[in-house]
Amino acid sequence: MLKALKKIFGKSPTELSVAQPASDAPSEAAPHYSEPRETQAPQHSDTPAVTKPRRERTRKPAAPPPPAWKLEDFVVEPAEGKTRFHDFKLSPELMHAIQDLGFPYCTPIQAQVLGFTLKGRDAIGRA
C-alpha cells in the first residue's frame, strides 16, 4: 500500500528502492515523507482576455392575471326534475369550486338535504 501511495505522489522508481528496505516486513523506523511540491500559480498575462459581448436577454412579458370569476360565468339552465346549485344561497367561492369540479346540478340526495343543512340542521342520508 505504501508503494501505491508513493506512486500516486510522484516518487520515481529509484527513490522507491532507496527509501524502502529490501524486506517486505514493515519496518519500525520513522516513515520517510517527501517534501510537498510547490504548486505553480496560474500566470496572468498583461493582456486582457478576449470576452464575447453578452447578449441581453429580453424579458418575457408577465402573464396577465386570469380574469376574476363571477357567478354569471357559471350559467346552468333550469331543467325539470333537477335542482341547480344556483337555487341555494351558496358563496361565490363555493360556486366557483362546484363549477371547477363540473357539477351543474345537485344529486338527488344533495337536493333533498342542502336546504336543511344550510339552515344549520343535521342530516343523515343514504345515497
The predicted-structure confidence for 49-93, as pLDDT tens digits, reads as follows 677 888 888 888 888 887 787 878 788 888 888 999 988 889 989
Cα distance between residue 74 and residue 86, in whole Å: 9
Average pLDDT, the chain: 78
Domain count, the chain: 1
Where do runs of H (alpha helix) occur along 21-122?
A: 92-101, 108-118
85 lies in a domain?
A: yes
90 lies in a domain?
A: yes
Domain range holding 89? 71-118
The predicted-structure confidence for 81-92, as pLDDT tens digits, reads as follows 899 998 888 998
8 lies in a domain?
A: no
42 lies in a domain?
A: no
- 106: three-class secondary structure by DSSP: coil
Sorted by sequence, the CB contacts under 8 Å of residue 90 that are 6+ apart come out as 98, 118
User: pTM value?
Assistant: 0.45
45 lies in a domain?
A: no
